[in-house]
Homo-oligomer: A and B are copies of this chain.
Amino acid sequence: MPNSNRKPVIDAGTPKVKFPKALTVKSHTITIIPRYCETDQAGVVHHSVYPVWFEMGRTELLRENGMAYKDIEKAGVFFVVAQLNIKYRRPAEYDEELELETVCSKVTASRIEHTYKLARCSDGTLLTEGSSLLACVNRQGKIRRIPEFMYPQSQSSVESQR
């Protein structure tokens, strides 16, 4: 059922969340262990799973910066994937330890770009590379300016001139 009714406060549109002053961590690495259901009959992880892992990478990078994405949503700020690019170099296998590095590579007035590198932990082999562009929207799905704290200090002034 719709969130608003289960969490009335949220849809009151009143941010109950304290945001950090700025995003200080630009890069973060998480460990991923492919699940059995993430493999396909070719014996490797299905290509549609990587976008899910990338999203996990973004979530944890944000957490490293002191906040949870769910709290951003509670404040009425939403990030939707506007663009996604993936290069699959080598297959990932069930239950092997992987390392996903997520980098916040660019921030503009209403978009955030991330780049991703997924590697096998055992030998460091690069398996997949990717990038995504997130658009910031309000509850109505209209493009909006991203929260000030998400600007790198230097870039903020630049962007604000746009």
| Chain A contact residues, CB within 8 Å of chain B | 1-7, 10-11, 35-37, 39-44, 46-49, 51-52, 55-56, 59, 68-70, 73, 78, 80-88, 91, 94-95, 137-141
Contacts and interface: CB of A to CB of B under 8 A. Distances in A.
A46 B42 contact: no
> Which 6 A/B pairs are nearest by Cβ-Cβ distance?
A3-B43, A5-B139, A4-B4, A39-B41, A48-B51, A2-B3
B95 A69 contact: yes
A8 B79 CA distance: 20
A110 to B, nearest CB: 15
Contacts of A41: 1-3, 36, 39-44, 94
Contact of A141 (B1, B40, B94): B1
Given A1-B41, A84-B47, A91 B36 contact: no
A37 B52 contact: yes
Given A3-B42, A37-B52, A69-B95, 14 more contacts: A1-B42, A1-B43, A2-B43, A3-B4, A3-B43, A3-B44, A4-B4, A6-B43, A6-B141, A39-B40, A47-B81, A68-B95, A83-B88, A85-B86
